[in-house]
Amino acid sequence: MKAPRFEYVRPTRLEDAIGFLARHGGDAKAIAGGQSLVPMMAFRLAAPRLLVDIGRIPGLNGIAVDDDGIRLGALVRWRDIERSAELQRAHPLLVEAVRHVAHYQIRNRGTVGGSLAHADPAAEMPGIAVTCDAQIVVVGPRGRRIIAAAEFFAAALSTTLAADELIIEVQLPPWRDNRRWAFEEFARRRGDFALAGVALFYDGGADGTATNIHIGAIGVGDTPVRLTAAESAVEAKRITASIIRDAGAAAAASVKPADDIHAPGEYRRALLGVLTERALARAAGLALREDA
């Protein structure tokens, strides 16, 4: 369980980092917190010849909140988000989701950009990005481009990021005052990757109707997904027990998770329905009557 041999550089300028990635093509890999890449190297599932440590590049660890939304630098660590009073107000859903990331030792190291680039289908940050219509800002030898989260995740552990591009920032649209939200996930143990998870928010009208509903799921496919059928069941309606049931059923019906060693796909699908119901009930402040 020792990593294969590799070279290591730690540039302090973004263009140098991109230069290394561009020159070494697929043989180079950017590293920030190292919480996914290093174990993969130890298991010899990844064997980059060159690690480009981007941890010393200035300007990538900022958290900015303004009228246009929230901008998180690629090097923002989970603990920075957890401890940010500003984000607790500006994006409570993000903060709640991040609290579910692994264990505190890992949250001390892991980064926003690293999680997005790693693209684990059960990871929280990609789920939040997809649910919240995030924009991912990347830079490469051909310049800067912005990729919508919905276009970013290609497959399990695979993104549309080119080998010579780096994520520098993720942008989340502004949060509104009348917003209701919830995050629910189910993992075998605290800190494990979720067997399924749901992030959702909507804007609550004075008459109790939900608009602008966004529901996203993790752990039920190759990538995080928006649950549009479940959203349709809720959009512009008053949330009631029966709407919640409908949304849960729609969520479960809209995914086809594969079987794996942790759970049969059918279980994850049913679990997603339950979590959708629970998340909606929590957001709406309703008590669910739960029998089997």
- Contact footprint for another protein (CB under 8 A): 1-5, 39, 43-44, 186, 188-192, 195, 261-264, 267, 270-271, 274, 288-292
Minimum gap (Å) between residue 122 Cβ and another protein: 12
**Cα separation of 227 and 254, whole Å?**
7
Of 177 and 290, which CB lies nearer to another protein in the complex structure? 290
Minimum gap (Å) between residue 178 Cβ and another protein: 29
Neighbours of 209 (CB within 10 A): 15
For 203, the enclosing helix (H) or strand (E) is strand 196-204
Of 92 and 191, which CB lies nearer to another protein in the complex structure? 191
Of 2 and 143, which CB lies nearer to another protein in the complex structure? 2
Q: Which amino acid is at 220?
A: V
Minimum gap (Å) between residue 259 Cβ and another protein: 10
Strands 166-172 and 179-186: unpaired
- Please, what is the Cα angle at 9 between 147 and 153, to 5 degrees? 20
Which phi-psi region, left, alpha or beta, contains residue 69 (left: φ > 0; alpha: ψ -120 to 50)?
left
| DSSP state, residue 77 | B
Of 1 and 206, which CB lies nearer to another protein in the complex structure? 1
Of 176 and 188, which CB lies nearer to another protein in the complex structure? 188
Minimum gap (Å) between residue 32 Cβ and another protein: 20
Minimum gap (Å) between residue 269 Cβ and another protein: 11
Minimum gap (Å) between residue 141 Cβ and another protein: 32
Of 135 and 276, which CB lies nearer to another protein in the complex structure? 276
Determine whether 136 is exposed, middle or buried from the number of CB atoms within 10 Å of its CB (0-12, 13-18, 19+): buried
- Give the residue among 200, 224, 217 at the shortest CA–CA distance from 284: 200
